[in-house]
Amino acid sequence: MTEPADGRLIEQLRSEISGLHETVAAADADRDRLDTALNEALCERDDLNDLLDQFAWSVAPIEVIGEHSSGNDPWANAMEIVTPAADVEQLRADRDRLAGVVKQAIAYLEARNRISPDGLPAKDCAGLVERLRSALKEPQEAPDAE
């Protein structure tokens, strides 16, 4: 028969083992949760890589931007091809100045409604005025600088 001290020790060890089983079960649950999160992150990364490849290939063919390697980044090469934001702002300013010139041209042609600066007859001049007005009403959208 076991001594009373041995019985207490056995009960204490059983309690500790039970607590360890709970700790292991919680660690297993955490591992499973983290494994699922990692798999989701890897899938998102792969999807993003595919999307960036599509972007790069829409900017330029692979012969221009190259393939992925330790010495080449086709995504960076595609970004270098895209118009920088500062250029876009300059293009918008140029477009606005051109719209002012077109408005002046319309006024000039209407005031002289005889012969255009190119020597077109008056009836052709009226058509030109309408085309200029139409161009002002439907400006081409410039890409956002952001």
Q: How far is C-alpha 48 from the geometric centre of its chain's CA atoms? A: 10
pLDDT confidence of residue 105:
78
What's the whole-number mean pLDDT along residues 6-32? 91
DSSP codes of every residue in 58-109? HHS-HHHH---BTTB-HHHHHHHHSPPHHHHHHHHHHHHHHHHHHHHHHHHH
What's the whole-number mean pLDDT along residues 94-108? 82
Q: Is residue 145 part of a domain?
A: no
| Cβ–Cβ < 8 Å for 109, 116 | yes
User: Does residue 28 share a domain with residue 47?
Assistant: yes
pLDDT confidence of residue 37:
93
Q: Is residue 116 part of a domain?
A: yes
User: Does residue 121 share a domain with residue 94?
Assistant: yes
Domain span at residue 43? Answer: 4-81
pLDDT confidence of residue 29:
94
User: Does residue 76 share a domain with residue 102?
Assistant: no
Q: How many domains does the chain have?
A: 2
User: Does residue 100 share a domain with residue 62?
Assistant: no
User: Does residue 47 share a domain with residue 25?
Assistant: yes
In percent, the amount of the chain with pLDDT more than 90 equals: 40
Q: pTM above 0.85? A: no
User: Does residue 72 share a domain with residue 28?
Assistant: yes
- How far from 50 is each of 41, 43, 126, CA to CA, in Å? 14, 11, 52
User: Does residue 70 share a domain with residue 32?
Assistant: yes
User: Does residue 74 share a domain with residue 92?
Assistant: no
User: Does residue 12 share a domain with residue 76?
Assistant: yes
Other Cβ atoms less than 10 A from the Cβ of 105: the count is 15
pLDDT confidence of residue 122:
66
Q: Look at residue 119 and give its three-state secondary structure.
A: coil
At residue 120 the predicted structure's pLDDT band, cuts being 50, 70 and 90, is: low
User: Does residue 32 share a domain with residue 96?
Assistant: no
Q: Is residue 76 part of a domain?
A: yes
38, 55, 81 — which closes off a domain? 81
| Cβ–Cβ < 8 Å for 128, 109 | yes
Q: Is residue 142 part of a domain?
A: no
User: Is the model's pLDDT at 41 over the cut of 60?
Assistant: yes
DSSP classification of residue 70: T
Question: What is the identity of the amino acid at 117?
Answer: P
Q: Look at residue 69 and give its three-state secondary structure.
A: strand
User: Does residue 26 share a domain with residue 49?
Assistant: yes
User: Does residue 61 share a domain with residue 14?
Assistant: yes
List the beta bridge partners of residue 72: 69
